[in-house]
Amino acid sequence: MEPRVGNKFRLGRKIGSGSFGEIYLGTNIQTNEEVAIKLENVKTKHPQLLYESKLYRILQGGTGIPNVRWFGVEGDYNVLVMDLLGPSLEDLFNFCSRKLSLKTVLMLADQMINRVEFVHSKSFLHRDIKPDNFLMGLGRRANQVYIIDFGLAKKYRDTSTHQHIPYRENKNLTGTARYASMNTHLGIEQSRRDDLESLGYVLMYFLRGSLPWQGLKAGTKKQKYEKISEKKVSTSIEALCRGYPTEFASYFHYCRSLRFDDKPDYAYLKRIFRDLFIREGFQFDYVFDWTILKYQQSQLATPPARALVPGAGTSGAPPAIASGDRQTGGGEEGRPAGLSSMDSSRRRMSGPVINSGSFSKQKSPVVNEPTMTKDTMVSNSYYLFCPFSPRSWCVCVHACPCYLVLR
């Protein structure tokens, strides 16, 4: 008899693992919809899944927050059933040869600031902002950024009175050292400003390809953290952002000007990036760097397919899981996202995290004009054989990369 979870989900094969549990592909028995199922042994020394499920419940309904389908105990395991999501931004960054364009970074920044703002509005800090913890959606939400992994999240104020937690020092580093704020390195209790400063480092990581404090060697983890801290302190904002629009330096100056319990002006931060986006002449069309790269790879693989009939429907992107493995301390590299340990043989995963050559087995989307730019938008819908779709056949709508590159 096939294993079931909550009498509603069929447990499939293992697609990922972490220090606090294993992730499996699951299927809703009634709808056949695929989900991510995370299992944690009930006897584990530091159980995390219940805490994580509570956080997701609090955040439920927010844009870019994965849905919790079910949480409970099955035999010897705590079980969390969640949405199956697309690749992480770290995966896509690697797929794009570890460099993202200004346009892509600005489109991501807008959504990422929104996600952090929403978490803060629910009285919690994330405390582990990094590329692995932002995932793209699937299907109609393929261009939507999701925030995951609330294992290190902390309540920073009383939900009713909004009384802020007290300022403290001599705190151990929590999160991932590479993206940790200056104050976090100095042992100061984290607050909203620190999540935003960490996000700034993520954006510069995408633009630059790396951060100045990466790859430092040390004998122990503590010594490595100290070296990262020293390099971060000695690297001025101007040096970090040199060669890039001044808005990024302005972002950091603003974050570092905030006092411990200040509420950040999220609208201001989004506005400086939106104004830059407009000034550069970009179109907010959701054509990311990986959209173009995947399209170009599919074009190299086979000649274009013919469009069949107009229609309407959904499409997809490479799947991953909305998973979070709780860290008790930081790491410069951080733990891998669940997607990175997924089985590359999965037919559905023809995307950024694999080099399986799956595109060579699929026909490409129809192309009415051979030339295509990053800012291409189209209004037609085509029913076609799509290299971006998990089901191969796709009706192109705004969510699908092939919709965006058809012209």
- Per-residue model confidence (pLDDT) at position 89: 97
Exactly one of 91, 128, 194, 289 is catalytic; which is it? 128
CA distance 227 to 231: 6
CA distance 372 to 362: 20
What does the pLDDT average to over 184-190? 97
What does the pLDDT average to over 162-172? 97
What does the pLDDT average to over 304-313? 43
Binding-site residues, in ranges, read 38
Instruction: List CB contacts of 335: < 8 A, sequence separation 6 or more.
Output: 18, 19, 132, 325, 327
- Per-residue model confidence (pLDDT) at position 21: 73
| pLDDT > 70 fraction of the chain, expressed in percent and rounded | 72
Weakest mean pLDDT among 13-22, 80-89, 102-111, 335-344: 335-344
CB 325 within 8 A of CB 18: yes
Q: Is 262 a catalytic residue?
A: no
Q: Sorting pLDDT into bands at 50, 70 and 90, what band is 42?
A: very high
* Fold agreement between 12-24+36-83 and 87-295: no
Q: Could you write out the three-class secondary structure of 287-307?
A: CCHHHHHHHHHHHHHCCECCC
CATH topology of domain 12-24+36-83: Phosphorylase Kinase; domain 1 (3.30.200)
- Per-residue model confidence (pLDDT) at position 310: 39
Which CATH code, of 1.10.510.10, 2.40.110.10, 3.50.30.50, 3.40.630.30, is assigned to 87-295? 1.10.510.10
Give the helix/strand (H/E) hosting 18: strand 9-18
Q: Is 270 helix (H, G, I), strand (E, B) or coil?
A: helix
pTM of the complete model: 0.76
Dihedral (C-alpha) 254, 247, 179, 207: value to the nearest 10 degrees?
180
What does the pLDDT average to over 175-194? 97
- Per-residue model confidence (pLDDT) at position 312: 37
CA distance 164 to 155: 9
Domain ranges across the chain: 12-24+36-83, 87-295
Closest of 35, 25, 30 to residue 8, by C-alpha: 30
Dihedral (C-alpha) 4, 10, 14, 15: value to the nearest 10 degrees?
-140
Binding-site residues for ATP, in ranges, read 38
Asked if pLDDT for residue 276 goes beyond 80, the answer is: yes
CB 381 within 8 A of CB 397: yes
Q: Sorting pLDDT into bands at 50, 70 and 90, what band is 7?
A: confident
Q: Is 34 helix (H, G, I), strand (E, B) or coil?
A: strand
